[in-house]
Amino acid sequence: MQTDQDAVIRISRFTVPAEAHEMFVGLLGKTHAVLRKVQGFVGDRILEQKADSGAFDLVTVIEFSGRESILPATAALAELDKSLGSDRRALAARHGIRVEFGFYAPLPI
């Protein structure tokens, strides 16, 4: 992945109950397919760990070349959600999926 100082990196963490895993991974695949087409997309990683509780912890790391890519990415995901008739917050609540995310910038050391 690029580590340019202008880069913006979104890191998201999801805790997904086992019974929602297949559905959630399918949505994650569609989401990343859309994001990969956004101008300024640099790269992504999707990581998974099975928790002792039987749930799954997933982490996504998405890098964009700069802040100017965030609005188009948000719009592209809104269009995807509209086409799927999906509301991500309601879906997470309905399936007991915990979500944490934030935007980060590279720290030149």
Per-residue pLDDT tens over the stretch 5-30: 899 999 999 999 999 999 999 999 99
Cα gap 72→94, rounded to integer Å: 28
Residue pair 56/21 in contact by the 8 Å Cβ criterion: yes
Contacts of 45 (CB under 8 A, 6+ apart): 1, 59, 60, 61
pLDDT tier for residue 2 given thresholds of 50, 70 and 90: very low
Residue 20 sits at φ, ψ, to 5 deg, of -105, 0
Alpha-carbon span 14 to 23, nearest angstrom = 13
Average the pLDDT over 83-99 and give the result: 95
CA distance 49 to 80: 27
Query: What is the distance between the alpha carbons of residues 101 and 33, in angstroms, rounded to a whole number?
Result: 19
The pLDDT score that the predictor gives to residue 3 is: 47
pLDDT in tens, 49-81: 998 889 999 999 999 999 999 999 999 999 999
Domain 8-104 fold is: Alpha-Beta Plaits (3.30.70)
Q: Enumerate the domain spans of the chain.
A: 8-104
Its pTM stands at: 0.88
Residue pair 37/76 in contact by the 8 Å Cβ criterion: yes
